[in-house]
Chain A
Amino acid sequence: MTDNTSGQTGFGGVSRRNFLAVGAVAGVAAIAGCSASGDGELSGTIDASGSNTVAPITSWAGEQFSNEYPDVLVDVAPEGTGAGFQEFCRANSDVQSASRQITDDEVDLCGENDVEYGFIEVGLDGLAVVKNAENDWVEEITLEELQQVWEFESDVETWSDIRSEWPDEEIELHARDSASGTFDYFTREINGEMGNVRDDYSATSQTNEIMGAVADNEHGFGWGGLGYLRDIEDDQPIEAVPVESDQDGDFYLPTQENIEEGNYSPLARPLFAFVNIASLEDRTDLIGSFARFYTNGQHEFARDEGFYATTDAAQQENHDKIDDWLDQVGASPDDLTVQRA
């Protein structure tokens, strides 16, 4: 492997947490030593918290970054978006992966702790609306119909309640519970308000249970992360439903092409990486270079981990944001070891 370094000593273990703590003298010395050793060779530890969904992308980016710069360790802890923001907004992590945008409460928490941040969009995740393969009547569904089915106090009990030509049979609804970022996203995009959902569907924290239940029942209907559908759709009778696009009103299946071109909207959600600006100020080259490296390879990193690439425009926007942050901390993009590709 490429990470055979002989010079690596205890400094690899020094994190930002040390910085904040009482016995921080050694940590300060170590980090100062790291950034002073400059000369193109990066070293140090980057703490990344955040989403269980996005962590694989950040982790893969971090591993590639370490392969390139063997004295760097990117330590990714996938505790979940919400739990991750609790760490990030207390300045306990440098980078935070998120499967949704930061909430108002989290903005307040960051504010209380004087944590300034910026974010980049690193990839897209598809949300699939699924039905059983035996179900030959649902050939497409509009956003309005989805809302009708899923909104709070919905009166849809049978397929014919959605469209009168569909069978008069009861629908079996399966979806994620309120603990998930996927739930937050779906309810906000489809029902107009985060957490607005009917209360009589089978809620689970396991997306594979949703997929399994829909595959087992002709009248099953639900939604969940696209990756889980991809895992079983070849072996089991389950398929995605084409959903109306809020872009052009046509119906689209959640294919790579439709998601990456932006047609499968709004059910393709953006995935984010947040960066702590104070960390960037402390270790400009290390954090800045990682953000740059991540952005340079973001299409590849996302696809390698089973997600979808953002548009090239979004990638360029990320680069511009990084330039702005550097400007904010009084550094120039040219100072970084990793340059815009």
Chain B
Amino acid sequence: MSTETDDTLFTDVDLVWEHRKNRIFLAIIFAASLFGVVALALLLLDVASDFYVGLTEYNISLVDFFTRDGSRREELSGFRGAIVASIMLMIVTAILSFFVGVGSAIYLEEYAPDNHITRLIEANLANLAGVPSIVYGLLALAAFVNGIGMGPILLAGAIALGLLVMPIIIVSSQEALRAVPDGVRNGSYATGATEWQTIRRVVLPAAMPGIMTGTILGLARAIGETAPLIMVGALFVNRMPYGPLDRFSAMPTQIYNWAAEPSQHFIHLAAVGIVVLLAFVFAMNAAAIYVRNKYETEV
């Protein structure tokens, strides 16, 4: 008796197969979402193991690493010049790109009429954000390094990076400005404030956390950029720059340089350099998250 009931109840084999397909599909998309995480974990693991081998087998001293400049001699090589160059690059890049970027965003969001010139500017910005970074390097090489005879100095590198991060800053600033409710603006206008007063006293302070987050994330991208700096010619200088007019090699170019050396010692110096560079990138991303979380609620 039971066999008959079972038969009638469980004849629908397709349903089981459908459930199984459901689970298979779930497994596949879960694996797909893990893929990036696993790749990142493997990468970090590889860097960490090279870092460890560098410190133990090749006796790379972290103190020397942070207090010496690069050298042709692997045992004398350090990262100080590159770290100083990268920090200086970030400062100059921020100065060059922040005001122009935020200014453009304010114009486009607060003032610009909705006509085809504005749309042309916005379309261009979207395209600029997608331009490969090496193109900015070529531009800086042609226009500044060779064009006006600046030479391969830090300022030229900062200009290339500034152009690179500017679209990022503009787009994130626009989003931050757009997120400020119109009621806040109208309230300000109702008290008799002019457009500029409203923007300066009301809109910008409210949008600043978003703008800062975008700027820091843009700079975090810029600090790891290698291609534009190679184009500018900042590759084989080992010494610490003392100002924006000095020649330089930043962290990513110094790593590139070391990784291209045949000697294993240099390759492990590159691994230690990568850990330092990653620490900078993570710290900048953490700062961006901190700024966003701390000030976001006060709007």
Contacts and interface: CB of A to CB of B under 8 A. Distances in A.
Interface of A: 1, 3, 5, 8-15, 17-24, 27, 45, 55-56, 59-60, 63, 66, 73, 75-78, 231, 304-305
Contacts of B67: 1
A73 B69 CA distance: 13
B265 interface: no
A304 B76 CA distance: 14
Contact of B148 (A12, A22, A77): A22
Nearest to A47: B151
Contacts of A305: 72
Contacts of A21: 146-149
Interface string B67-78: 111011100101
Contacts of A77: 233, 235-236
A190 B281 CA distance: 54
B151 A14 contact: yes
Nearest to A76: B236
B239 interface: yes
Nearest to B149: A21
B246 A10 contact: yes
A46 to B, nearest CB: 11
Interface in B227-275: 233, 235-247, 262
A63 B71 contact: yes
B149 A13 contact: no
Given A3-B239, A73-B239, A305-B72, A12 B246 contact: yes
B152 interface: yes
A60 B153 contact: no
Contacts of B244: 10
Contacts of B151: 13-15, 17-18
A75 B149 contact: no
B216 interface: no
Contacts of A66: 239
Contacts of B154: 13
Nearest to A70: B239
A63 B72 contact: yes
Contacts of A1: 67-69, 76, 78
Nearest to A7: B242
A140 B286 CA distance: 65
B100 to A, nearest CB: 22
A10 B245 contact: yes
A305 B263 CA distance: 11
B204 to A, nearest CB: 34
Contacts of B78: 1
Which of A1, A17, A56, A66 has the most CB atoms of chain B within a 10 A radius of its CB? A1
B53 interface: no
Interface string B82-110: 00000000000000000000000000000
Which of B71, B151, B236, B246 has the most CB atoms of chain A within a 10 A radius of its CB? B151
Nearest to A1: B68
B242 A12 contact: yes
Q: 4 tightest CB-CB pairs across the interface, nearest first?
A: A21-B149, A10-B245, A13-B153, A15-B151
Contacts of B152: 15, 75
Contacts of A15: 151-152, 247
Contact of B149 (A10, A20, A78): A20
A259 B150 CA distance: 44
Contacts of A73: 237, 239, 247
Given A60-B72, A77-B235, 8 more contacts: A10-B245, A11-B245, A13-B154, A13-B243, A59-B72, A76-B236, A77-B236, A305-B72
Contacts of B153: 10, 13
Interface in B202-230: none
B247 A12 contact: yes
Contacts of A22: 148-149
Contacts of A75: 152, 236-237, 247
A18 B236 contact: no
Nearest to B69: A1
Nearest to A14: B151
A181 to B, nearest CB: 18
Contacts of B71: 63
Contact of B247 (A13, A27, A59): A13
A56 B150 CA distance: 26
A45 B149 contact: no
Given A8-B242, A10-B245, A17 B146 contact: yes
Nearest to B146: A17
A79 to B, nearest CB: 10
A32 to B, nearest CB: 16
Interface in B103-159: 145-154
Contacts of A14: 151, 245
